[in-house]
């Protein structure tokens, strides 16, 4: 008698398990919950600032403009050839951020309610 391990009849194999024994998120969920660089976001993507990896003075300046941990940002447009990224902060301010600076800002996608995905 052979058993088909990919069969949907086997409930243990219908949901992949993480090492801790908890059901692992599906590929789409994993992508939505991972943090990445602001520089990697596409136009129209809203995100929550998780971390700013810059010296204290520059990080403080960005936070004063509304670009700090816990703040939401939306990418409005991206310049060609690795140029600046035009973003809107949750406070309503719009800024052009140098691509190198945007690589130092860690963000996570947010849901339509403004919460981290």
pLDDT digits (tens, 9 = 90+) for 39-65: 999 999 899 999 999 999 999 999 988
Whether 95 contacts 65, CB under 8 Å: yes
* pLDDT category of residue 32 using cuts at 50, 70 and 90: very low
DSSP lists the bridge partners of residue 48 as: 72, 108
Angle at 74 between CA 68 and CA 78, to 5 degrees: 110
Give pTM, 2 decimals: 0.65
In the chain, what are the domains? 33-109 (2.30.30.90)
Whether 70 contacts 48, CB under 8 Å: yes
pLDDT of 109 > 80? The answer is yes
Query: Which pair of structure tokens corresponds to residue 55?
Result: 């010296």
pLDDT of 80 > 60? The answer is yes
């Amino acid at each position: 008698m052979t058993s088909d391990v990919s069969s949907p009849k086997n409930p243990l194999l219908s949901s992949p398990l993480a090492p801790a024994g908890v059901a692992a998120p599906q590929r789409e969920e994993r992508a939505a919950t991972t943090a990445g660089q602001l520089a990697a976001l596409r136009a129209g993507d809203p995100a929550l600032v998780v971390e700013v990896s810059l010296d204290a003075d520059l990080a403080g300046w960005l936070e004063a403009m509304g670009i700090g941990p816990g703040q939401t940002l939306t990418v409005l447009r991206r310049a060609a050839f690795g140029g600046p990224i035009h973003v809107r902060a949750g406070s309503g301010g719009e800024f052009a951020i140098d691509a190198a600076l945007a690589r130092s800002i860690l963000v996570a996608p947010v849901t339509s309610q403004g919460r981290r995905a």
